[in-house]
Structure 1
């Protein structure tokens, strides 16, 4: 089994960024600085967290989802991360966004969650995966309706539309892979066939 270098490195980078609170202001996604040319915030905003509890929940989810996906295909892991980051960034830069500052991996994690659930369902055919997907979508709907997080309480108010953007990115990525590759191949087999 290959070492999950991408997942471990990402968790360590986020921990290192948390350990440097004096630099957080340079890393958060903020609309005006990004528009003024501080493009690194489009990546660093996802790797920075408001507090250690926020970091812990995001790092734990990344460890579980990232390890599973990276074990299946590093290509799929990279596609998921890029699609999630791009979708959340597009939302944050759009007129639909209601926030000027954002940080954390939760939007991107929703992309990885969609990919992991679909991959595991294709692998096992388990009805439990369908039930888990329904629970995740219900949680997302409740958070969008209430504007709050159901499981965590962090320093900043949560931004559930980022979770929706990540979920949609995962679904669009799966659809794109189905259209691009033979429908008889699983997304992971299709991704691996491209390497």
Structure 2
């Protein structure tokens, strides 16, 4: 599909939650010094019971470039796949990807003591969009789906780009990309099953 302003998914149901996520990330950036100590993902504090950090930490960023990179990716994914979004599905996708990303880091990457950024969740959103493309018989979905897992595999074996690390002034948490994508995959599988059952039951009623 060619991206033009005319076919952008501008309806409220497609764009509202994306806008809210972007606004929260921008607010977190501007108030970083005042509130990051309370909300950022920190392994030690989560282990002491501050579980809200597993969700809120994703809205914070290391610097302005990190924020802009993630907002650009958020907007691009919306432009590509926003017509598949609605209030409920996108909210649940975001929450699932965020929490599974954090759980994966906590249990399998305890050496990561602190994590910020939307990139883990963005990988989950990317996976969802690719699966929705496949479901709607768009062959580019297969390329996107295979591509994102090849990217993740490359990162796992060879590490992240040094240029990106320099730009964001932090190590790239490649494990967050992996677990965020797993979260998106799990949500997408459940979403496909549930929506398919709804379609079947509606057809049976008719």
TM range (shorter): 0.7 to 0.9
Match of 1:93 in 2: 106
Structure 1 position 84, deviation (Å): 0.4
**The structure with more helix, counted as a fraction of residues:** 2
User: Map of 1:6-17 to 2, 5 A cutoff?
Assistant: 6-17=17-28
Q: How does 1:69-148 map onto structure 2 within 5 Å?
A: 69=82, 72-123=85-136, 125-148=137-160
Counterpart check, 1:164 vs 2:178: yes
| Cα distance change of structure 1 residues 147 and 70 upon mapping to structure 2, 3 Å threshold | same
Query: Deviation of residue 70 (structure 1)?
Result: 6.6
Q: Secondary structure of 2:164's match?
A: coil
For the aligned residues, what is the CA RMSD? 2.6
Distance 1:101 1:161, change over 3 A: same
Whole-angstrom distance in 2 between the partners of 1:13 and 1:70: 22
Q: CA deviation at 1:55?
A: 0.7
Q: Is residue 61–residue 109 contact of structure 1 (8 Å, CA) maintained in 2? A: yes
Normalising by structure 1, what TM-score?
0.82
With structure 2 as the length reference, what TM-score do the two structures score? 0.78
The one-character-per-residue Cα deviations of 1:9-41 (angstroms, maximum 9, x if unpaired) are 211111111112323333321011222233332
Write out per-residue CA displacement over residues 92-143 of structure 1, whole angstroms, 9 at most, x where no aligned residue.
22154330100111111111111111112323x2333312222222211111
Contact kept in structure 2, 1:88 and 1:107, CA below 8 Å: yes
Matched-pair contact (CA < 8 Å) for 1:139–1:150: no
SS at match of 1:152: helix
Match of 1:20 among 16, 27, 31: 31
Q: Which moved more, 1:1-10 or 1:143-152?
A: 143-152
The structure having more radius of gyration, on CA atoms, is 2
